Structure formats: C-alpha cells, structure tokens
A and B are shown apart, each in its own frame.
Chain A
Amino acid sequence: MTDAPVPRPADVPLAPPQPTLRERWARRPPSPGFLVGAGLLAAYLVAALSALIVFRRSLDQLPRNLAWTPPFNPIGPSAAHPFGIMPGFGVDLFNAIWQATPWDLAIVAGILAIDVFLGFFLGAIAGLDEGGLVDAIVTFVGDSLGSIPTFILAVVAFAGLLTVAPNVVGLPVFVAVFGIILWPTMARTVRERARVIAHQPYIEAARASGASFPRILVRHVMPNSVGPVLSQVPLDVAPIFFVLSAFPWYYNCQLPGGPPTPPYTSPVPYLAPSLPFFSPLPSGSFPEWGYLLGFGTCEGFSFPGGFDYWWMYLFPLLAIVGLGLALGLLCDGVERWRRFDR
C-alpha cells in the first residue's frame, strides 16, 4: 500500500501577495479632494508646530497691545497686519489665530480621539452582539444620552464639575467630558454597519472555524466598520466649536434684553472680552478660535455698520471651517480609496 503523494509546500498555490502602498497609489491615485484635505491638514500641523516654537514663552496668553484697544479705530487687514486687529483683545488677529492653532488642534484631536475610541469600539461590539446584553446597554445609554442636544449636555456636565473643583477642572476635563458625551451618535452609526457585517458569510465562516469573539471583532468587524466613523468625524467637529464660540458670543454680547441688535448705541459697553463661569478656557486672554469667533462676531457687529469690520469674525470662522473641511475631505478620500481597494 502506497500513500498518496503529499504535495510539497512549494506546490501549494500561494495567496496573491498584498499590493504595496506604492502599487495601490499607482493603481488608484487619491482623489483631488483627498489631496486638498491632506494639504490643508498638513498646513494646520505646520502652523501648530511653528506656533509652539514662536510663542513658546507665552503660549496661553494673548499679548495685549494697549495702543490697539478701544476707543481707537479698528485697524483692518494690511501688509503689516494681514488679518487686521481685534481691538477688544488688543491683538494682531493673524498672530492670535496662529497662536491658537496648537490649542485648537489639541482640543479637537483629544475630543475626537475619545469619541472615536468609545463610539467605534462600543458600536462594533453592540453590532456584533446584536440582541445581547452589551447591545442592549449600549443602545439604551446611547439613546438616552442622545435625547439631549449635545451642546447642552456638555455644558451642563462641565458646569456641574466646575462648581465642585473650579481650580482643578479645566481644559483637559472639558475634552474628556465632551468626548464622552459625543460617542452615542458615533456608536449608533457604527452599530448599524457592524450589524450588517455580522451577518456576512465570512463572519459565519470565521465563527465556525473557532474564531473567538474578540478576534472576529478586531480582525473582521472593526476594519469593515470604519466607513461610518470616517463620515461622522467631520460632523463631530461642528458641536465642539459651537460650544466654544456660542457661549462667549452670548456672554460678551449680553445686555439687558439680550445680544446687541441694531440700532447700536455709542459708546458700546461690551468691548472687553470675558468668559462665562463655565468656560473651559483658563483665562479671558486665552488664544482659542471659538473664543475669537464669538467675541469677534459680537465686537464686529457692535459698531455701526458691522459689515465694515468683517475681519473680526471672518478669519476665525475660516480657521474653524478650514479645519472641518480638511478633516471632511481627508476622511471622504480615505473612504473612497478603501472602497476601491477592497
């Protein structure tokens, strides 16, 4: 009796080799949108790193020049001041936005990191464990937290913590609180995708071949559920800057009867920038885009003919929208590339 010939390892057909990044790039170059987004984000990173060096001595304090503060006339954009002057702060707006870049990138990155970590992980577990205890808990908590507008819950939670320990609670706690509050939306969209993936034949095959729950989760479900994360991340930038700008705007603008409305009276009594008690920023001269936008909108329109002082709100607004667009274009490009590459 002779045994059947056992094929040598060399005879076993090998799986086709995975294409390298260079080959993928050559086969499908990234979209123009991806390149624009990546370029914009790189510019923001360069600005943040250079600001760390240039403003290293007083990164958390805007340098106030008393010669530019009211009642002097506001100075518009020029060669010396490309973004003009913000009189209330007494700062060159270009420098202020530049100085704020590392802070804002850190705030956004921190919040989104917590948001993505919790939302992605919990959403994927819930989707794979559909109908199970984890799914029930995640869905219940997510739906309950999601019943309150994000910005209200974030501010209320932060204000509550601030009343306990005003000297301890600051920007890092705000980042943590906001990230924790943002996750339900992310988890909900990830869960829907993970549910669909959990019923795919290859998941059944992996389960039948003895793959454990964590392995299926990490190896199969999570990599295939990245799409909702990529589409949700740019949207989650909006509530962050809404909170950072809307409350300083309202607080600085508030008069008996509310924010200033035309016709304006002179002299305007609200030109000194200040922060509400629950603000996460450590001081009233802290460089941050949302604060600059909130105060700039108030100050710009506090003068008769608010559109003549457009630079006070336009440039902080462009910085915020530019960051959101950079993330949006980058995420869209990555998602399309992944879809094609599959």
Chain B
Amino acid sequence: MEDVRLGHGNVPPKVPPVIASPEEAPTSSGLCHDSFRRSGETIPHGSRRPLLSGFARYALRRLLLIPAQLVFVLLILYLVIDVPISLMQTPPESLAGIDRGFFQMVFNLFTGNWGTASFVRFLNGGGGPNPLEPIPWTWIFAYYIPTSVQLAMFALPIAAALAYPVSLLAGWSRRPGLDTPARVVTLTGALLPVFVVGTLVLNVLFLSYLGYFQDIPSQGLLPADFWFFDRGGYPSWILYGFATQPTGLPLIDAVIHQAWTIAAISLIKTLIQASVVAIAYVAIFFRHARSIARSVREEVYIVGARSRGISERTLLWRHAARAVAPSFLLVFALTIPEYLGVQFAVEVAFVDPGFGYLIFASLTGGVLSPLVSLVFLLAIVVLVWALVVDLIAIRLDPRGVAAR
C-alpha cells in the first residue's frame, strides 16, 4: 500500500540532499522548507514545519533585543548623568531633581516627567512656571519634533537620490585617476564640520533670499518674525514658539490652511537645509558604499554578461544598481547616528526649533536634566529605524537570511 504521508499529491519524494554537517539538516531551519515549497518539492517525511520562517525568527529576535539594548542605554545614561549629579553636594537649580536613583529615573521617564520647568524657562529666555514643576513630555513632541521630522522627510530622499548614483558610479568606474580624487573629496567632505558648510550656505543665500522672499533663509522652517509683523501678525494656526496646528508640521499645516505663500517659503527653507544635510551625509555614506559597488563590478555574472557584449550602461543601471541596493541599505542602517548628527548640526546652524537644537541648547546651557529623556528617545528612534532598514535590506537580498 502506498504511503500517502510521503507528500502532497502522492508525489514520491526526491532523494534528500546530502547533509554535510548538522547545521545543514532540513529540520534545523525554516529556509529548507521555504526552498522546498518554492521548488515544488515535498517536505521530507519526519521533518517538523517550524512555526515561523527564518526571516520572521530573525526579525523577532532583533525586535526582542531592542528592549534589552534600551535598558543598557538607560544604565549608561544613569551612570554618566544621574550618578555624577547625585554625588554633588549642592547641585545647581538647572540640575535639580534628577539625582533620585535609577528606578526613579525610569519612572519619571515613563510617566512623562522629562526634567524640570527650568529647562523650558531657559529655552524661552526667562520667565515661565515654577522651576520645580515637571514639564510635560507633550511639549517636546508639539514644539520640537515636527521640525526635525519635516526636515528629515526632505533630507532623506535628497540624500538617497544623491548617494545612490554617486557611490555606484564612483565604485563602478575603472578610470585610474578617479579613485584617489574621489577618496580625497569625500574625506574632505566628511571632515568639514557641517556648521561651517551651513553658515557658508546661509551667507551665500542671504541677500538673494531676502530680496526675493522678503525673508531670511534661517530661523526655522517658517518665515521669520518680521515677515509676519509686516503682514499684520501671525495667523491663528501658528502658536507660541512657532508650533503649528493641527499636525505640527509647518508645511502641511500651511497647505491645510491654504496659506500658499507661507507654504512656499517653508518648502524653500526646508529644501535649502535638506540639501546641506544631504551633501554632508553623502560624503559619509560614500566612504562605506564605494567598495560595495566595486565588489559588484567583479562579480562573476557581471563579468560574464560583459563578455557576452552587454553594454556597460545596462550592466550598471539594470544589474549592478539592483545588486547593490540591499548592501546600500545596510550601510544606511549603520550610518543612521551619523545622519542624525549631521541633521542636528544643520538645525543649529539654521536656528530651527528642532530636536537637535534642543539637545545643543540643553548641553550648552548646562541643563542636563532633560538629556536622559532626549537621548533615550533618540536611541529608540535609531534602534527601530535601523531594524526596519535592516529587515528591508534582508528582504530585498535573497542571500540575506541564509547568510545569517
């Protein structure tokens, strides 16, 4: 009698592959099931189908690792901020209220007590509520994060549009005289402090921008104070501290309220700053990504295709461009902290009320109390962002999961 358990549709199983080591056993990896499924073969008798695929297990493992990493970051922040201040005999007012132990620090963080009101008073230039009154975390989200988000929404695509072809072309080129100049230019770009680049751009643009828009190209992503004063004051949807309603993103809110001139100025300001961010970041990205394009150039299938007469242009833009995409994404995931550093410095150079400006202001003003929350928030963003980009890269790369 035929054993129907052998496979679906009574197809006799094929000869199982030779197993060289226990790690390659079909039962040890969901990938084997995937490969059987894709090739239309039956799953060998006796093997257990895993609950999750290899990719899902990898994603889950990485996701579960994030809380542990965040606890480690909290410990580091406790050691470098809270412990030193708790050792002080008489901490100044700006540092008051944060020497309360690790668990209190975590409790404050998750209950929204992100520092004291002296921090807000400092940023607002004096006045304000009782210095020991906790500041609500919603203020940070309402006032500072939208500006950074709007800038990143433009800077990231511009950076990608620049970094992708530039790195690919420079790595692909076989011209002997191109390599060293490319390295020198990108290293110089990485070494130039971005605030210097931002200041230069600001001053180059100043006169033409003032002449055309009757505005200045800095001081946030909305027109400057005097622009509004010359036109009868602020509209009702712009609140104190340049926070806008309802979304908080200046450009979107201007469009929602059909304030087209404000939207145009906000768009131009964002594009200027995003371009500076992108140029500075491309120099960092290029140093990592160039060698990837170069290694793809030497791949066997590229060499084979070239020998069959396929044009260099087709090889570059149809084959190599796809092949480098996952690796480029991994480089992007690796350099996210550098990207944020660049954006923060540009925010400071252009006086944006953004997250980077907040960190610079609190550090320079000696107000360390909100830094635990701000750096912790930053770590969450970076870790989640890196995970998402990493997973996309692996999903795009057929070798990704297997390689791990």
Contacts and interface: CB of A to CB of B under 8 A. Distances in A.
Interface in A171-225: 188
A91 interface: no
A97 to B, nearest CB: 16
B203 A307 contact: yes
B400 interface: no
B287 A231 contact: yes
Given A152-B375, A313-B196, A262 B216 contact: yes
B371 A156 contact: yes
Contacts of B40: none
A245 B192 CA distance: 11
27 contacts: A140-B72, A143-B69, A147-B386, A148-B378, A150-B341, A156-B81, A159-B368, A160-B81, A160-B83, A162-B84, A163-B91, A188-B334, A241-B191, A241-B193, A245-B195, A246-B193, A246-B360, A247-B364, A258-B351, A258-B357, A259-B348, A261-B351, A262-B202, A262-B216, A297-B199, A306-B203, A328-B187
Given A140-B69, A329-B184, 10 more contacts: A144-B69, A156-B371, A163-B88, A247-B364, A250-B348, A257-B219, A262-B216, A306-B199, A307-B203, A320-B191
Interface in A225-263: 231, 234-235, 237-239, 241-242, 245-247, 249-251, 254, 256-259, 261-263
A161 interface: yes
A149 B335 CA distance: 10
B197 to A, nearest CB: 10
Interface in B53-107: 65, 68-69, 72-73, 76-77, 79-81, 83-85, 87-88, 91, 95
B340 A160 contact: no
Contacts of B236: none
Interface residues of A, number: 65
Nearest to B347: A258
B187 A293 contact: no
A157 B80 contact: yes
A140 B68 contact: yes
B84 A238 contact: no
Nearest to A231: B287
A45 interface: no
A247 B345 CA distance: 10
Interface string B339-360: 0110011001101000001011
Interface-centre pick from A164, A247, A261, A321 (highest chain B CB count, 10 A): A261
Contacts of A328: 183-184, 187
A49 interface: no
Interface string A135-158: 000001101111111111101110
A147 B375 CA distance: 10
A160 B368 contact: yes
B271 interface: no
B196 A293 contact: yes
Contacts of B379: 144, 147-148
